[in-house]
Amino acid sequence: MNVAVRIILGLLACTWLPAAHCQEAIPGAYEECIQEPVFEGKVCIVQANREARIGVILIHGLGGSTEDWKNTLPALAKDFHVLAFDLPGFGKSDKGSQEYSPTRYARLAHFLADRYFHDKTYHIVGHSMGGAIALRFAAQRPLRFRRLVLIDAAGILHPQVISKFQAGSMLERTSGVKQTRGFAERLSGKILEQVDKLPISPIDIANSALGRDQVLQGGPEKIAALELAGEDFSYAVTSVTEPTLILWGDDDLTVPQRTGKVLAGRMPHARLEIIADAGHEPMQDQIEQTNTLVRKHLLASEQSLMEQFQPMPSKPAMTSKREGICKNDSGMIFEGDYRSIELRDCSGITIRNARIGHLHVYNSRATLTDTDILGKEEGVYAEYADLTVTNGDISGTIAINAKYSRLDLAGVHLKGSQDAVKALGSKLVFSISQVHSPHSDGAMHAYKQMDDGVL
């Protein structure tokens, strides 16, 4: 098997698996296994407080089971009819060499909702891969569905972005030194770029019966991980209008917190809560706080939720004449309004909560978060630059002009009256982004190597 494929498999599958897993029954719960029509096998279910008028469906992550909700189910069962199920391929449900994709899992969740909550409104709570499934489910516009909770949702950003993050996490865990993360991410990024040149993609392997059996050896974890990596959630993120609570452990080394920021920034009615002293499983690490936040969201009145998700007032026109400059420096932070910012031979630069008329980056590395660039001619000019941009609008006659640069864009909207992107010898990764120009119009979730081209 190609080395790049092995890396993808190892990072996406292994790091999403819980460290330990047990199959003890949840006290006070009713368990049963039924035949289901999506995977045409047995799915095993745990329920509690079946007399309650409102339901909650709990969806676990990769390698997990209903046991993952042992601390959550009793807390929610005080007020709700709670249903948790083992995803096919995991727990007590049937296993086999099948397409374990978020879309198919969402269809199964829809079947269970219609079967058990046919006369009830209900909410969905998903963790890790289960968060991605819950998001896909919500985007299907099911009847009687009301609210959504996503806990450290996996697989939303482009797989290159996630794999780079997890490579950094693995080295950080091994070395115990956080400073090693940047090196590991850059090195793995260069390796992962070669995946795009393979005659067959890792996603194609998971979609093929031969690939699942021969390459993945029918392993549900590997199949589900690659299927998750292959899904594009761009439409789901922008179309789900139900009130959404996003929870994230502040020390999650499995899925980047950046995912939560993109979800909160681009979903119409979503907010992000960071849980301190928690990793990828806050419902295990901070049980009481997680349960309190979930219950509060699901029990809140419609009026209080409407107040939480009021649109932000529009900002006044940008009139700043301030200019930001960095030359041969590192660690600088820029916030607020700037007519322009120039970075030259700088590293570790942070630009956040800003509005900029023009950004010029030469031989520098910078991270931009919640920043709009409102260019008249060029929004961003990047030469020999490494930019990571999370949430924001970039506009101009040419929104981004990149030469020999690497750009990682997540939750970014590009609008160019001539070109959204003009690039020479550059590599761009788009996650849950939008591109609008005479050449391209719509969602963008892809890796682009642009030797000399435009978008």
Fold of the domain built from segment(s) 3-157+229-308 = Rossmann fold (3.40.50)
* Positions of the chain with pLDDT under 50: 1-8, 11-16, 18-24, 179-181, 183-185, 187-192, 195, 198-199, 210-211, 214
- The phi-psi region of residue 399 (left if phi > 0; otherwise alpha if psi is between -120 and 50; otherwise beta) is alpha
**Could you read off the pLDDT of 229-273 as tens digits, one per residue?**
889 999 999 999 999 999 999 999 999 999 999 999 999 999 999
Among the residues of 154-219, which ranges form H helices? 159-175, 180-192, 202-207, 209-210
Q: What is the pLDDT of residue 443?
A: 96
Residues of 76-103 as b/e, b for ≥16 C-beta within 10 angstroms? bbeebbbbbbbbbbbbbbbbebbbbbbe
**Domains of the chain by residue range:** 3-157+229-308, 323-454
Q: What pTM does this model have? A: 0.87
CA distances from residue 409 to 208, 375, 391 in whole angstroms, order as listed: 30, 17, 8
Cβ contacts of 277 within 8 Å, gap of 6 or more: 250, 251, 285, 286
> Rounded to whole angstroms, how far apart are CA atoms 158 and 410?
9
Q: Which CATH architecture has domain 323-454?
A: 3 Solenoid (2.160)
- CA torsion sign for 182, 187, 192, 196 is positive
Element (H, E) at 139: helix 129-139
Q: What is the pLDDT of residue 21?
A: 40
**Could you read off the pLDDT of 412-451 as tens digits, one per residue?**
999 999 999 999 999 999 999 999 999 999 999 999 999 9
- Asked if 153 and 260 count as a contact pair (C-beta separation under 8 A), the reply is yes
**Could you read off the pLDDT of 373-392 as tens digits, one per residue?**
999 899 999 999 999 999 99
Q: What is the pLDDT of residue 241?
A: 95
Q: What is the pLDDT of residue 381?
A: 98
Q: What is the pLDDT of residue 237?
A: 97
In this structure, what token pair is assigned to residue 45? 């279910």
